Structure 1
Amino acid sequence: MNLTSAESGTSTATERPATRARRPARSRPDGDQPPVISTSPLAAPLTPAGVATISHLTEKLAEYMNEADLKKVKEAYRFSDEMHLGQVRKSGEPYISHPIAVAEICADWKLDAQAIMAALLHDVMEDQDVKKEELIERFGAPVAHLVDGLSKLEKIEFQSQIEAQAENFRKMLLAMASDVRVILIKLADRLHNMRTLDVMAPAKKQRIAGETMEVYVPIAHRLGLNNIYRELQDLAFSHLHPMRYTVLAKAVRAARGNRREVVGKILDSVKNTLAMAGIEAEVYGREKTLYGIYKKMRSKHLTFSQVLDVYGFRVVVDSFPNCYVALGTLHSLYKPMPGKFKDYIAIRKLNGYQSLHTTLIGPYGTPVEFQIRTQEMHRTAESGVAAHWLYKNSDANMTDMQQRTHAWLQSLLDIQQQTGDSAEFLEHVKVDLFPDSVYVFTPKSKIIAMPRGATPIDFAYAIHTGIGDHTVSVTINGEPAPLRTELRNGDIVEVVTDPDSRPSPSWLSFVRTGKARSAIRHHLRTINLPESINLGRQLLRQALAAISLAPDLPEPLIERLLNESSAKSLDELYADIGIGKRMAALVARHIFGLLGGESASVPVDHNSASDLDPVTIYGSEGVSVQLAPCCLPIPGDQIVGQLRRDQGLQVHTGDCTVAKRQRQKEPDRWIAVKWGTELNRRFDSRIRLLINNEKGILARVAAEIGESDGNITFVGMDEDKEHVLHQLRFTIQVKDRVHLAGLLRNVRKVAGVNRVARERA
């Protein structure tokens, strides 16, 4: 039986004359599912099982694509169809139906021929081992680069599924930074897979839906692809919480009938009022997504009946000034709710979205939300960055949106250059994808959009990495403020820098943006490299001694070790161990294997390693060794060390409850440590006092601490309202445990002090 060609528009899973030697079909990865019926307007039309058609795709492409480009697309289809011959989805349809569906979604955005070709070819490298060079030869370098950016890295062996997933996202996002079409095709791919997820096993549904909600939904929102954003949210919600989704969908259907009369009355009133004011406008109802309703119920602890604004209205006017005229007209029709007006036209969202939002009290006292925008704003709101291909014009708003997107994509490259590994890169990017944002101003009134919870340090790094690295202080609205202050809408932020200043490790505990976090970590790793190398060398020697290996390695062995560990030098390997990126015990077992032993069977006795060679702590090592803030160890305490990924060694007291919990989770990351003999610095310690509520007590206690050679760095007070007692909390600096004990004895003698003790985690 001859298989019809792309021009005739159908493909089946039967035999055909092959034009080239085919590779055997490989099994599909977890993320691909058989197609099912979708009610989405973007869904491809269904065809009988076993048949896939591109006739609908070619009809869409013919609307905006010339014959030459259309011919290239058909050629890509024929190649993809040949490569996927023999592969079927669980529904019985040939696998080619999936690339066609992805290409149709891209065609709805009117993406160019190269993007449509890449959509049709997006799985041939992954499934059929087609080389990038072959794609370059057949379809050109731009198409091959797009397909390569979309392909997973299945041939590389990773230490864990999490690491593999992180590396795949890193590759995809970096490809997207150079060409945003990569992520548009990937989102179309994910959308079709989510629409056809029903027949997958429950565990796989949960994993894929969770990944979609965590990564792909925020990316769609960040790029302004609101149609995709809303549909992916609802689809992920339906698989993550199927019972909740079903109950809520039933409630919305019932409410839709009950509120039809109210909605119709509002719609007629608004249309008539705007017409009387001489404003040309399209007015239509807009129903909230199920996930949007669910999220509001969860965040505000409401029942469904209390979520009154399930319905809203969109008003699309013909010009920018008429947005504000329409707003005034609506406010004269219904009373506005105080505090429920937002002007996203004057200050647009991070993804370029622009509209006026207002909530009015409609008939029967029902709150009704209105969105007012122009046609251009509406196209951007629905299609986001894809509108660049949809409507190629010189509109200033569109240009600005493209610039914002470019700036964010460029920040991905900056983060990649400063990030140690894929998991850290993904962590930083996910932080930046949260949609909530605040808008702050520079002293020259330039608006900077920051994620909610951002601090002045994030603000400084958003302006320039050099400013962030040299920040020493900040003023907010003309007043000095701590660097950890959370910024609020409308704040005017001014950063003071000093060329001799450097980032502090403590900044990592409160910065919010991925760019700031990666820049700080990069600087700390670079500036403290000698300390990390020394610590790593000591840790590896300890691990080698634990399995009875000599610490001095022969040169040939070092070369093999560096090649297999992808480290450029032995110092780099030591540094990775010193900052916790590699485990010394695992490197030691690798060395044992290279020497001819069975590395997997070598028992690594961590206790004997600790006894043999504890790491000496002096307290002045810098960021490669940190004293845990939960227990604040001081010389004289029994201590243990935890190797934290990319954060070096953290020292806890032996009885720290936090350390005990973490040690149960990751026992391999703990090593023996001891205090050095020459400690020429002071150490922080926390004490807590129970005192009588009487005049002058704080002054007497502070004076006694000073007399005992202690330095106070923090004072806090907790009131016990049931008694006439207060709790005082001090952070003080002492030399060691003996010094602290003497200070506590002296403070206990102060009149009015009932109890004093060292505060523990």
Structure 2
Amino acid sequence: MGGRIHAVKPPPTPPLLPADSEDSQLYQLLNVYLKPEDIAQVMTAYRFSAAAHEGQFRKSGEPYISHPVTVAGILAELHLDPPSIMAALLHDVMEDTEVSKQQLAEQFGQPVAELVDGVSKLDKIEFQTATHAQAENFRKMLLAMSQDVRVILVKLADRLHNMRTLDSMAPEKRRRIGRETLEIYAPIANRLGLNAIYQELEDLSFKHLYPMRSAVLAKSIKAVRGNRKEVVGKILDAIKQRLADAHITAEVKGREKHLYSIYKKMVEKTGTFSEIFDIYGFRILVQDTPTCYLTLGALHALYKPIPGKFKDYIAIPKANGYQSLHTTLFGPFGTPIEVQIRSREMHNIAEAGVAAHWLYKNTGADLSALQKQTHQWLQRLLEIQSESTDSVEFLEHFKVDLFPDEVYVFTPKGQIMALPSGATAVDFAYAVHTDVGNRCVAVKINHELAPLRTELHNGDHVEIITAAHAKPNPAWLNYVATGKARAHIRHFLKTMKSSESAVLGERMLNQALRALHADPAEISEERWKKLVRDYGVQDKQEILTDIGLGKRLNVMVARQLLAMAESAGDRASTHLGSITIRGSEGMAVQFAQCCRPIPGDPILGFINKGKGLVVHTHDCHAIRKFRMDPDKWLDVEWDPDTKRLFKVNLKLAAANQPGVLAKIAAGIAAAGSNIDNVGMEESDDSAYTNMNFTVQVEDREHLARLMRSLRKIPEVVRINRVKGAAADHKHQ
């Protein structure tokens, strides 16, 4: 967190001014806004931390205590409350010294101990990989943050100082920490509206990830800045004069883009540095909201606005509480000018974000709306974590939720909802409520029916249509853009697959028990309880699910339930019979895409670990290597009363004439079949063309009727079913 501790003797460093000295920078920062008794409390924490870190040094050679003191100083600049400052001073004592959480609670109170615990790493727990350690670390920190947002404020200040002092690290470590900061911490700072911290974290990450690019760009900015002074001065004078004429009191200043934002624009727009840097930025601070709009009118009278470049973030604030009017104008000599207009109150929130809760306690309704939005975001994190089965998955969903750009859409009742850029109707449904997402079947966008995968745009009016028996579709995972939607869909599919696999597992186990001349109904509850204990699982359901998913052999479980010894002779004499396939088993039974079995085909079932039972035709080329391994396959047979359609591949050769595809499609429909997919092989100017169809049929008889009716079409010269290597589908 703050750099590792080394036993080597550090180089001599200038004496550090103790933080409890009245001349120290931290003391002066605290003295601006804290009462003397609060400062005394903070200084007690400083002395405790200094004693705990005594003799420890950072890689740069500085005494270790300099790190927590600087972190506390960053938070003091944001005017955070005493517990936050104390947690900043103590944030490494649990990790790097022998001090326990209990000791901190006794000395400084439970809230401070909880904050420190939330920020501390999980170094003492064994993880499979560094990725798991990092992911679990984030999970713990974010859960603590959802209870108390001050945890992340301390963590961001800690990360900011580490990034400022990263030069003493090895290049590879600098790049890794820089990438992590750019992917996680900078977006969190942006999401919480901590603008200054966000921009500095991005610039420092850029410097350590791409040192050459950063240096060249910084040099170019320095060289150009002098040439711009005259133009900036002229525009500033013109704006100030115009506002004075309109009797508007305002503070006007030029606004520099930060380094990484210029680099991002160059990459996104594939533009040159001069094209990006030739845009001039200005910020105007006024007294209140009505004056913002008056100022906008005055500016549009001075310089012509560029169409489509106006954004009103006052009427519809960003999700992090940011409010401003943004407009782009044609300046003198055709120079584009970007202007932000905001009140001083909006500016305070734009700079301090969620930290403004401690900084400006009496700023009214706007701030409570910001706190409400932050609370909703933190609650979404808790929901995502409850649906995610492991830390890596949670981190993936969380990253998805850190989109900086947002679209604003309306519910049927006229409420505004903010969603990440690229969000679809399915994301909207889950944002409304989990049940709405799970049961959505269609959507009306601006009162017209549209596909669920439709991307939403600013101002869209969205109405979700649900059905009681609908359920999430796995295909949704290909296009949802929010972590919440992704987490809920995955959770539902896993739960559904688990329950379906348990049903299949029970059928497989019963089959094995009967083959061993045992009645499944006679297996006692005590026997099951003992097996659950022996396997170290939660319950009987988990064992059945594992059998259905191919993670446990049904014969082995049956023998253990009957307390019979496993031997090759016994197993050889055991004939298991066959499992009936109904076609309604859902995700627990899959039909191999390589051979696409249909009722009437002789079939075999293969246990694919993790996927469950995969059904192939007897003659499928893909299963030859498994035929020699009896533990891998099961005898399966079709239920005579299957009630569903199955996909099958057909290949046709037909005369290359206009309208032939329409005739074939009509013939397929007339035979009571559906076309699932169609493909044409490239024509080489011959008289015939090959077509590949995936059609849906009930069974082999239905397929035979379909093929007979297609052969009657004069243009069709050859038709056959495709299985195995010739099928243009990847084997599952």
TM-score range, shorter chain: 0.7 to 0.9
Give the match for residue 678 of structure 1.
638
Structure 1 spans left out of the alignment, 5+ residues: 1-27, 34-46, 542-551, 589-611, 661-670
Per the TM alignment, residue 684 of structure 1 is displaced from its structure 2 partner at its CA by 3.0
Structure 1 CA distance for aligned equivalents of residues 269 and 594 of structure 2: 36
* Cα RMSD, aligned residues only: 3.8
- Shifted more, 340-349 versus 299-308: the winner is 299-308
Letter in 2 for 1:705: I
Query: What is the Cα deviation at residue 568 of structure 1?
Result: 3.2
Match for residue 584 of structure 2 among 620, 630, 637: 620
For residues 354 and 726 of structure 1, the distance between their equivalents in structure 2, rounded to whole angstroms, comes to: 61
Larger Rg: 2
Correspondences of 1:468-483 after superposition (within 5 Å) = 468-483=437-452
Matched, 1:524 2:493: yes
Corresponding position of 2:139: 170
In structure 2, which of residues 16, 19, 24 is the aligned counterpart of residue 51 of structure 1? 16
Is the Cα contact below 8 Å between 1:692 and 1:725 reproduced in 2? Answer: yes
**Aligned partner of 2:538: which letter?**
K
Distance 2:673 2:421 in 1: 39
Tell me, in whole angstroms, the C-alpha distance in 2 between the residues paired with 1:79 and 1:686.
Answer: 74
Is 1:32–1:193's contact at 8 Å kept on the other side of the alignment? no
CA displacement 1:561-620 (0-9 Å, x = unmatched): 52xxxx53354466579779xx779xx9xxxxxxxxxxxxxxxxxxxxxxx999998753
Deviations 1:116-157 (A, max 9, x none): 000011111111132211111110000011011111111211
The answer to whether the 8 Å contact 2:578/2:635 transfers is no
Pairing of 1:227-376 with structure 2 (within 5 A): 227-376=196-345
The verdict on how the C-alpha distance between 1:92 and 1:49 changes in structure 2, with shifts beyond 3 A counting, is: farther
* Equivalent residue letter for 1:270: I
Closer, same or farther: CA 407–650 of 1 in aligned 2, 3 Å: farther
Between the aligned partners of 2:579 and 2:95, the Cα distance in structure 1 is: 47
**Equivalent residue letter for 1:442:** T
Whole-angstrom distance in 2 between the partners of 1:159 and 1:534: 32
What fraction of aligned residue pairs are identical, expressed as a percent? Answer: 55
TM-score, scaled to structure 1: 0.78
Displacement after TM superposition at 1:291 (Å): 1.2
Query: CA shift at 1:297, angstroms?
Result: 1.2
Partner of 1:38: none
Q: Name the CA distance, whole Å, in 2 between partners of 1:31 and 1:579.
A: 45
Structure 1 counterpart of 2:16, one-letter code:
V
Residues paired across the two proteins, number = 662
Cα distance change of structure 1 residues 394 and 286 upon mapping to structure 2, 3 Å threshold: closer
Q: Measure, in 1, the Cα distance between the counterparts of 2:674 and 2:228.
A: 68
Alignment match, 2:516: none
Contact conserved, 1:618 with 1:675, CA < 8 A, in 2? no
Residue 699 (structure 1) aligns with: 662
Contact residue 49 and residue 92 of structure 1 kept, 8 A: no
**SS of equivalent residue, structure 2 residue 307:** strand
Distance in 2, matches of 1:80 and 1:373, equals 42
Q: Do the aligned partners of residues 480 and 76 (structure 1) sit closer, same or farther apart at CA in structure 2, a change above 3 Å counting? A: same
C-alpha change, 1:539 and 1:675, in structure 2 (3 Å) is closer
Deviation at 1:748, TM superposition (A): 7.4
Q: 2:597·2:615 contact (CA, 8 Å) conserved in 1?
A: no
Query: Which of the numbers 144, 167, 176 marks the counterpart of 2:113?
Result: 144
Work out which of the residue numbers 418, 430, 446 in structure 1 matches 2:387.
418
Letter in 1 for 2:449: P
- The residue type equivalent to 1:258 in the other structure is N
TM-score (norm 2): 0.81
Aligned to 1:733: 696
Residue by residue over 1:541-565, the C-alpha shift from the partner in whole angstroms, topping out at 9 and shown as x without a partner, is 9xxxxxxxxxx99977853752xxx
| C-alpha displacement of 1:228 | 1.0
Q: Which runs of no fewer than 5 residues in structure 2 stay unpaired?
A: 7-11, 511-522, 557-575, 624-630
Q: What SS does structure 2 have at the residue aligned with 1:472?
A: strand
Residue 344 (structure 1) shift:
1.0
Distance 2:685 2:221 in 1: 49
State the match for 1:428 in structure 2. Answer: 397
Q: Does 1:187 align with 2:161?
A: no
In 1, the alpha carbon distance for the partners of 2:5 and 2:461 equals 48
Q: Structure 2: which amino acid aligns with 1:678?
A: W
Q: Secondary structure at the match of 1:339?
A: coil
Corresponding position of 2:89: 120
Deviation, 1:29, is 7.5
Counterpart position of 1:491: 460
Give the direction of change, closer, same or farther, for the CA distance of 1:122–1:650 in structure 2 (3 Å limit): farther
CA apart distance, 1:229: 1.0
Which residue identity lines up with residue 512 of structure 1 in the other structure? A
Equivalent residue runs for 1:564-713 within 5 Å:
567-569=537-539, 571-572=541-542, 575=545, 619-625=583-589, 633-634=596-597, 648-649=611-612, 676-678=636-638, 680=642, 681-685=644-648, 696-706=659-669, 710-713=673-676
2:460 counterpart letter in structure 1: D
Name the counterpart of 2:416.
Answer: 447
Q: Secondary structure at the match of 2:443?
A: strand
Contact 2:532 2:539 in 1 (8 A): no
Secondary structure in structure 2 of the residue aligned to 1:370:
strand
Q: Is the 8 A contact 1:633 1:639 kept in 2?
A: no
Aligned letter for 2:32? E
**Change over 3 Å in CA distance of 1:720–1:205 after alignment to 2:** farther
Q: Secondary structure at the match of 1:110?
A: coil
| Cα drift, residue 624 of structure 1 | 4.1
2 CA distance for matches of 1:613 and 1:239?
Answer: 65
- Which stretch shows the higher mean deviation, 127-136 or 105-114? 127-136
- 8 Å CA contact retained: 2:578, 2:636: no
In structure 2, the partner of 1:62 is: 31
Distance 1:132 1:180 in 2: 19
Query: Per-residue deviation at 1:698?
Result: 3.5
Contact 1:687 1:759 (8 Å CA) reproduced: no
Give the distance between the partners of 1:328 and 1:249, measured in 2 at CA: 36
